[in-house]
Chain A
Amino acid sequence: KAGVTQTPRYLIKTRGQQVTLSCSPISGHRSVSWYQQTPGQGLQFLFEYFSETQRNKGNFPGRFSGRQFSNSRSEMNVSTLELGDSALYLCASSLAQGGHNEQFFGPGTRLTVL
């Protein structure tokens, strides 16, 4: 069974641009979560999607948005990029929501904002 895939793996953008990251969950998984990892803040939750609906959102500005498609694939978008958005963005999938469902992560997209 294929794992979680994320594209692209690396991105370089400049301030003010926007970016879209893609995540394909494990087959059969319906929940997709996004996390941002930076050296200063560590791993922080962005949002979770389940059945094409955003179910939970972390404490990030509205420049960060996402969506989920009917095949459970998810995209996240960051508009008006800032230098501080440079980070590793990790996507995780699980069968369903809830505390007892294991989350499996993809390899991440490393975004650099210049």
Chain B
Amino acid sequence: AQKITQTQPGMFVQEKEAVTLDCTYDTSDPSYGLFWYKQPSSGEMIFLIYQGSYDQQNATEGRYSLNFQKARKSANLVISASQLGDSAMYFCAMREHGSQGNLIFGKGTKLSVKP
């Protein structure tokens, strides 16, 4: 069974509008971290935002916010005021405390921002 599910292979958004990228996860570990990364065509994975399983508040980093709904096991990324430079692949990932190391990635969502 997939541990990270991103159901939107591709999305379009108009410049300056907000967009939500979906992510659901599956784990039995009570302690885990959720991450979002951006990967432009150059290939580098750029860390965007982190949410810990015990965090009471949703994480925010500038134009990025994470809509964390623990009971539903969802961790959607919200990008406000989209810019042309936001066009990229976006990956949701989870790191279980018990696994000690590796990130488990979703398949990604390709976001295209239209002028």
The chain A residues found within 8 Å of chain B, CB to CB, are 31, 33, 35, 42-43, 45, 48, 50, 55-56, 58, 88, 90, 92, 97-108, 110
Contact = CB atoms under 8 A, between A and B. Distances in A.
Contacts of B32: 99
B33 A105 contact: no
What is the size category of the interface that chain B forms with chain A?
20 to 34
B18 interface: no
Nearest to A99: B97
A107 B100 contact: no
Contact of B96 (A50, A88, A99): A99
A98 B100 contact: yes
A55 B98 CA distance: 12
Interface string B75-105: 0000000000000000101011111111111
Contacts of B29: 99
Contact of B105 (A42, A48, A99): A42
Contacts of A106: 44
24 contacts: A31-B101, A42-B107, A42-B108, A43-B105, A45-B101, A45-B103, A45-B104, A48-B100, A48-B101, A56-B100, A56-B102, A88-B43, A90-B43, A99-B29, A99-B97, A100-B33, A100-B52, A102-B35, A102-B50, A103-B95, A105-B44, A107-B44, A108-B44, A110-B43
Contacts of B42: 107
Given A99-B95, A102-B35, A107 B43 contact: yes
Most chain A beta-carbon neighbours within 10 Å: one of B29, B32, B99: B99
Nearest to B108: A42
A99 B102 contact: no
A67 B52 CA distance: 30
Contacts of A101: 33, 95
A22 to B, nearest CB: 16
A71 B45 CA distance: 23
A105 B45 contact: yes
A56 B31 CA distance: 18
B76 to A, nearest CB: 19
